[in-house]
Amino acid sequence: MKKTLLLTLIFLLFSASDAYSCSCLKSKIKEGFKNSDLIFIGKVINEEWNTSTEKIANTNKTEEYKRVTYTFLINEFIKGTESIREVEITTSGFEGDCGMSFEVGAEYLIYSYEIDYRTTSNLYLISEKVKPYFTTDLCTRTNYINNVKQRELKKLKRLAKK
């Protein structure tokens, strides 16, 4: 019995060593506002998954990356360019690496920021310029609209007026 328990614990210890998870604290409303390029309330109207294979810098290895691009119909702008009615938000879609997943047809409060680089090393030390795109992650205040308190929306609108 003790031997089986010991082997199970050792197995769990070593199998978890390659796992990566997202670890962050949600920001305060003012901080979330300041760190976002585009904040809006919108409904997801499309979801498109893409896979790319990229060379890992300074090696002959390649790695497969999955990304999902969600198209949002914007119902209300809070911060950003008001001239657009739809916006694409690209994320990994996997919570383990802080990505977000959204449900088509659902409405969300989105805190997003623009990215113009891509990491080309799994150590996050090397990056290269890419065409800018908007993204969001679990570390922002992005949330399903029904979970957002009115206090947060009022504060965001006050911050936007400043």
List the chain domain ranges: 20-161
Q: What angle do CA 40, 135, 22 make, to 5 degrees?
A: 115
Q: Report d(CA 57, CA 69) in Å as an integer.
A: 25
23 pLDDT tier (thresholds 50, 70, 90): confident
Element (H, E) at 40: strand 38-55
The Cβ of residue 81 has, within 10 Å, a number of other Cβ atoms equal to 9
Return the percentage of the chain with pLDDT > 90, whole number.
Answer: 49
- Give the residue with greater pLDDT, 77 vs 95: 77
Distance (Å) of CA 95 to CA 22, 71, 103, 139? 7, 19, 14, 10
pLDDT class for 5, splitting at 50, 70, 90?
very low
Beta bridge partners of 114: 134
Please give the pLDDT value at position 66: 81
The CA–CA distances, whole Å, from 42 to 25, 31, 37, 80 equal 24, 21, 15, 13
User: Distance of alpha carbon 102 from its chain centroid, rounded?
Assistant: 10
**Is pLDDT at 74 greater than 80 in this prediction?**
yes
Q: 43-69, pLDDT tens digit by residue?
A: 999 999 988 666 666 677 777 778 899
Q: What architecture does CATH give domain 20-161? A: Beta Barrel (2.40)
Q: Which helix (H) or strand (E) holds 123?
A: none
